[in-house]
């Protein structure tokens, strides 16, 4: 048996829709695999009651098929589904790493990005790779049609997860079809600033580059309390705040000294809006980790 822990991720970071992603230190999914004549899946843990065990409907089923690697697969969810924290991607990334070794397929982590993205197509209709790439590779990732670029960034973050669900499929439905040239120019500038910030581990530059006037405003309408939570995080010292992935999670970037205060300000602001939430105080971290002995 092989065991892989794959981290939650936060995609987009505002200015990098479908392009940017980062790996979070916590939470994470743990996936265990054993060879079997055909693929079976069991799911336990956070939100498991909402996750299908049918291989045709679960992200890991698509990964097993793509690698021609039938297995008994057990998923222990640490990342709640429909969270904006790459829940479906964490399972897919973990399964890709585990099955690649189990069947000695010889794929590199970079090769596995497109394999794991097939799982995303099962749930959101599109094989977007901006969650699976950081879950596999760790750090900050930039996904384009030409491939993936990875930076071992280390920046403190708070990921606040409200007790509401937004499916990625639905949130992709509110993405505008077009943008003005002014909006594009502003977004390119922000994305470039953010990327330089990641290469320097500079939370101020990263935060300054997170603004996005194209996709994010449409998605914040799906998250009760978003504006109040954003304001509270900024007042507590966050250098940038935006929707995590497709939401409802909210990501705040910060200096380490402010992390605890930001986490409690965000939870309090959601509470005042009548929404329960929990905040993960973490940092950009490593990608999927393989444990050979099943421990």
Ligand X SMILES: N[C@@H](CCOP(=O)(O)O)C(=O)O
Ligand Y SMILES: Nc1ncnc2c1ncn2[C@@H]1O[C@H](COP(=O)(O)OP(=O)(O)O)[C@@H](O)[C@H]1O
Q: Which is nearer to ligand X, 246 or 254 (CB)?
A: 246
- Cα separation, 186 vs 214, in Å, equals 10
What separation in angstroms does the CA of 60 have from each of 97, 117, 137? 11, 10, 18
Q: Which of residues 245-264 bind ligand X (CB under 6 A)?
A: 245-246
Catalytic site includes residue 120 = yes
What x/- string results for residues 211 through 250 when contact with ligand Y is judged by CB under 6 A? Answer: ----------------------------------xx----
11 belongs to the binding site for ligand X (CB under 6 A): yes
277 belongs to the binding site for ligand Y (CB under 6 A): no
12 belongs to the binding site for ligand Y (CB under 6 A): no
220 belongs to the binding site for ligand X (CB under 6 A): no
CB of 246 to ligand Y, least distance (A): 6
150 belongs to the binding site for ligand Y (CB under 6 A): no
Q: Which stretch binds ligand Y (CB under 6 A): 48-56, 100-108, 191-199, 219-227?
A: 48-56
Catalytic site includes residue 168 = yes
Q: Which is nearer to ligand X, 20 or 270 (CB)?
A: 20
Which residues bind to ligand X, rule: CB under 6 A?
11-12, 18, 84-86, 128, 130-131, 168, 171-172, 245-246
Q: Site residues (CB under 6 A) for ligand Y? A: 50-52, 58-60, 75, 81-89, 91, 123-124, 167-168, 245-246
């Amino acid at each position: 048996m092989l065991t892989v822990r794959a981290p939650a991720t936060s995609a987009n970071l505002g200015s990098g829709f479908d392009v940017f992603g980062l790996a979070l230190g916590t939470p994470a999914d743990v996936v265990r695999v054993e060879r079997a004549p055909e693929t079976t899946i069991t799911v336990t843990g956070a939100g498991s009651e909402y996750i299908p065990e049918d291989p045709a409907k679960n992200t890991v089923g698509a990964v097993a098929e793509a690698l021609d690697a039938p297995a008994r697969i057990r998923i222990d969810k640490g990342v709640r589904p429909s969270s904006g924290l790459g829940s479906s991607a964490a399972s897919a990334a973990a399964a890709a790493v585990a099955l690649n070794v189990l069947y000695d397929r010889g794929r590199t982590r970079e090769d596995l990005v497109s394999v794991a993205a097939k799982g995303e197509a099962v749930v959101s209709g599109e094989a977007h790779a901006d969650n699976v790439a950081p879950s596999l590779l760790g750090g900050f990732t930039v996904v384009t049609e030409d491939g993936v670029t990875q930076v071992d960034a280390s920046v403190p973050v708070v990921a606040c997860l409200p007790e509401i669900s937004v499916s990625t499929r639905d949130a992709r439905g509110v993405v505008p079809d077009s943008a003005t040239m002014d909006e594009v120019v502003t977004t390119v500038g922000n994305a470039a600033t953010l990327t330089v910030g990641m290469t320097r581990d500079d939370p101020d530059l990263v935060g300054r580059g997170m603004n996005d006037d194209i996709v994010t405003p449409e998605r914040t309408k799906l998250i009760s309390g978003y504006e109040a939570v954003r304001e509270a995080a900024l007042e507590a010292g966050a250098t940038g705040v935006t929707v995590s992935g497709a939401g409802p999670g909210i990501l705040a970037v910060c200096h380490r000294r402010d992390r605890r205060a930001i986490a409690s300000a965000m939870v309090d602001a959601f509470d005042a809006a009548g929404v329960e939430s929990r905040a993960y105080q973490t940092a950009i971290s490593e990608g999927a980790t393989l444990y050979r002995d099943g421990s």
